[in-house]
A = this chain, B = another copy of it.
Amino acid sequence: MSSVTKALDLLSHFSAARAEIGLSQLCRIAKRDKATTYRHLQALEVAGFVEQNPTSKQYRLGPAVLQLAQTREATVPRKASTERPLFDLTETTGETAHVTVLSGTKMFGLAVCDSPRHGTRAIIDIDVFPLHATASGLCALAFGPKGLMDVALADLTSFTTETATTPSALSNTVDAIRQTGFGRAMRSYETEIEGVSAPLFDQTGQFAGAVSVASVATRFTPALEHTIKEHLMIASRDITHNWGGTIPSHIEGLWAKSLTTPHALDSTS
């Protein structure tokens, strides 16, 4: 482990919950020597990555990180950082995958990656994803801001016979998603498409969008669903990470549970 890595690792111990950390305390947390830690903090301080509260002598994150974040935000658009995870997702599942972002009260398509494997495949060509009928939209209703449900209820357009067109039906669907951590749209937008999606989070910890796989219904087996969910988790973690966020632990918990327990949904096949 290089000294650079060790020094950078110190930064990871700062969080909203632990904003200021003293030297000795940091040594305990990071399980490291005091002299070394001190010197690393010095180096981080001259670079502006940490600064010292002059009164308490405790260290906290410095202004340099703001600058870097500004540059990163200005130069690396969200879309670009989804491309690799999306590509991997498509490769491993063999199905078309896409990313949607929540902007205001609408879910917009941000990026798509078509699978070259099958002759028939889902074609994603919509701009705004209906909240009540698509996996991404339902994901937003389940994990996004509260006000979203009212917006969804205002337009319960029926796309297929499976579309939830009553408040109670929609409510039930969303509740089910809150149990599993995965958005599911079973032929509710297009008759031959099964959609599965996982939520994405930004650096504020807020729901920011969804990553989804759209599979042709005829080949959507429980086994495929399981595979898709596994790789959706990976993609979601990846993209969320790229956006500066982390998957909330309760979502991770839901995922873990819904992948290990005998699947209620799968037994319907």
Residues of B within 8 A of A241 (CB): 48, 63
The interface-forming segment of A24-32, A103-111, A216-224, A259-267 is: A103-111
Please tell me if the beta carbons of B76 and A244 are within 8 angstroms of each other in the complex.
no
Please tell me if the beta carbons of B19 and A76 are within 8 angstroms of each other in the complex.
yes
**Total contacting residues, chain A, CB less than 8 A:** 66
A118 interface residue, CB < 8 Å from B?
no
Q: Among B2, B11, B55, B246, which residue has its beta carbon within 8 angstroms of that of A43?
A: B2
> How often does this chain occur in the complex, in copies?
2
Most buried by B among A20, A104, A242: A104
CA distance A7 to B11 in the complex (A): 14
Taking CB as reference atom, which chain B residue is nearest A209?
B63
Q: Among B43, B79, B206, which residue has its beta carbon within 8 angstroms of that of A54?
A: B206
A4 interface residue, CB < 8 Å from B?
yes
CA distance A39 to B2 in the complex (A): 9
A154 interface residue, CB < 8 Å from B?
no
Please tell me if the beta carbons of B16 and A71 are within 8 angstroms of each other in the complex.
yes
Residues of B within 8 A of A44 (CB): 4, 8
Please tell me if the beta carbons of A73 and B79 are within 8 angstroms of each other in the complex.
no
A226 interface residue, CB < 8 Å from B?
no
Residues of B within 8 A of A39 (CB): 2
A189 interface residue, CB < 8 Å from B?
no
A3 interface residue, CB < 8 Å from B?
yes
CA distance A163 to B19 in the complex (A): 40
Residues of B within 8 A of A40 (CB): 4
Query: Shortest Cβ distance from A211 into chain B, in angstroms?
Result: 15
Residues of B within 8 A of A62 (CB): 72, 103
A255 interface residue, CB < 8 Å from B?
no
A95 interface residue, CB < 8 Å from B?
no
Please tell me if the beta carbons of B110 and A63 are within 8 angstroms of each other in the complex.
yes
Please tell me if the beta carbons of B243 and A47 are within 8 angstroms of each other in the complex.
no
Query: Shortest Cβ distance from A119 into chain B, in angstroms?
Result: 23
Query: Shortest Cβ distance from A122 into chain B, in angstroms?
Result: 18
Residues of B within 8 A of A45 (CB): 103-104
- The 5 closest A-B CB pairs, nearest first, are A66-B244, A69-B69, A19-B75, A4-B43, A8-B47
14 pairs, CB–CB < 8 Å, chain A vs chain B: A5-B47, A14-B68, A16-B75, A19-B75, A47-B104, A55-B203, A55-B204, A61-B75, A63-B243, A63-B244, A65-B72, A66-B110, A67-B203, A69-B69
Q: Given contacts A4-B40, A19-B76, A69-B69, could you give 8 more A-B pairs where the C-beta distance is less than 8 Å?
A: A5-B43, A5-B46, A16-B75, A19-B75, A54-B202, A63-B241, A67-B108, A67-B127
